[in-house]
Chain A
């Protein structure tokens, strides 16, 4: 899906990565990790075709999407028009995002950009700090989007300084301390947030403890089975 060989990434005189070989297969989710300034964003820019590598070759699929860090768009541009420019005109934005970009918060603008990238993502999705500025709900939405893109056959690469992003990864690519190394994420760690759902049907009561990412599915299933929701509460 994505193959880079002998890649040298540099900014001016400073060589960040040298002779990097990388291969990312269809459906693989790669978390590019490393310390600040080690060249994660520069690597993603090169892989996304935003800048040329100093040396090396990159083979990408026919279509790919890239969301750089610190998203910015002209204030007067309607978000829906931006999606149209990226071939996602048929996406119906929720009302809170369907405004001019200047009226959107940082997180909302990030969500608009991610919506464009994750809509028919093609063969490759490259996301630089995608969780930055997102609230809890949007983080879960993004994780579902990444998982969905990978399930659809796209290779996904992302950077993330927080912990949330690591949850979606199947592979970690650690750069910056000697030769780049790949680490297989054997099992995704459980989400830290959990909720208790108490359901009621007549005199009957039922209690579930689920993760936040499972919450919506459990609630939807219970409601369709005729249960009422008595309460949903966070578990410390």
Chain B
């Protein structure tokens, strides 16, 4: 966990995080300005939040020189510390986005009609897995891929997932979660939504495994 936060501190020194952080606050403001239907806002949020999480992870990865990261990782315990740090980044971003898109609007009381407990669970879990998917995608597309290529790949992945939605929401990852959330009014935790979230979680694990295998292959 310490290594993840040290990477974040190094990235903050290069100030490259300013733009995505401002963009995230713009997203939250745009989704929850005035009275907001929770299903619509969370459904839209699930589509957007992964791209933002991927953006942040790519930016952090590019901002931290690999030499500095190697020194920190060695001090923290080598490869296991590095792998833990990657998981911490994915989980912390997922928690952060869940807080910003679900907890914060609830606390601010801007959701109309007021969501039920099941609505909140559905929105919270959906946002969490969608953000985790984006963060894991950012990890897989991080160094040594160039930033422009990484962003293009993120867009391509989301376009591809959107194209799959008409066939089956269940295999469309966060876009499928978004779709299921938007149609699940009245039955918050539908079987379709649960399936889409479970498949997205599997994608997260697959992306982390893929990233590790690619890193091992590159040497």
Residues of A within 8 A of B (CB): 9-12, 16, 42, 45-46, 48-52, 54, 60, 63-77, 82, 85-87, 113, 116-117, 126
Contacts and interface: CB of A to CB of B under 8 A. Distances in A.
Interface in B61-99: 63-68, 70-75, 77-79, 82
Contacts of A63: 75
B63 A52 contact: no
A113 B66 CA distance: 13
B10 interface: yes
Nearest to A126: B74
Contacts of B78: 48-50, 60, 64
Contacts of B15: 76
A67 B217 contact: no
B215 A117 contact: no
Contacts of A85: 6, 9, 72
A82 B218 CA distance: 28
Q: Tell me which of B10, B68, B217, B218 has the highest count of chain A C-beta atoms within 10 A of its own C-beta.
A: B68
Contact of A48 (B11, B63, B74, B219): B74
A12 B219 contact: yes
Contact of B215 (A46, A51, A64, A87): A51
Given A11-B219, A74-B14, A74-B65, 7 more contacts: A9-B219, A11-B218, A12-B218, A48-B74, A48-B78, A50-B74, A50-B78
A49 B63 contact: no
B13 A113 contact: no
12 contacts: A16-B219, A45-B219, A49-B73, A49-B77, A64-B78, A66-B70, A68-B67, A68-B70, A68-B71, A73-B67, A74-B13, A116-B71
A86 B71 contact: yes
* A-B pairs, 8 with minimum CB distance: A49-B78, A66-B74, A11-B219, A72-B65, A74-B13, A68-B67, A50-B70, A77-B13
Contact of A66 (B71, B82, B219): B71
A87 B70 CA distance: 15
